[in-house]
């Protein structure tokens, strides 16, 4: 598996709204089969780790990719006003 993705363009968008924060990352790389990457490699967080961390924050994670099309990852996390946040 090619870990670099061979992307020549990367777009990153961050939006803060009263209800939460959205982060969208899109590339024009080689893409991958999302369903075939459920397991993590030793020493890497992988998609499973990303999903677990998103769940702990009460957010949603959407990954859209397939071979030859690039990848778009959208993370949405709610913001609780007036609540202290813990540094990772």
Q: How far apart are the first and last CA of the chain?
A: 30
pLDDT one-digit tens code per residue, 13-72: 999 999 999 999 999 999 988 877 655 555 556 788 889 999 999 999 999 998 989 999
Tokens coding 22: 């959205």
**What's the predicted TM-score (pTM) here?**
0.76
Residue 82: per-residue pLDDT: 66
Residue 39: per-residue pLDDT: 55
Residue 34: per-residue pLDDT: 82
Tokens coding 15: 């939006």
Q: Which residues contact 12 (CB under 8 A, 6 or more apart)?
A: 23, 24, 25
Signed CA dihedral, 38, 43, 22, 14: sign only:
negative
pLDDT one-digit tens code per residue, 50-61: 899 999 999 999
Distance in angstroms (rounded) separating the CA atoms of residues 49 and 19: 24
Domains of the chain by start residue, with CATH: 10-78 (3.30.565.10)
């Amino acid at each position: 598996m090619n870990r670099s993705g061979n992307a020549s363009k990367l777009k990153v968008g961050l939006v803060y709204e009263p209800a939460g924060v959205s982060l969208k990352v899109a590339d024009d790389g080689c893409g991958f089969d999302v369903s075939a990457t459920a397991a993590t490699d030793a020493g890497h967080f992988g998609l499973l780790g990303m999903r677990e961390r998103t769940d702990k924050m009460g957010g949603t994670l959407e990954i859209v990719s397939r071979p030859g099309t690039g990848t778009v990852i959208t993370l949405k996390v709610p913001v609780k006003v007036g609540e202290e946040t813990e540094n990772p």
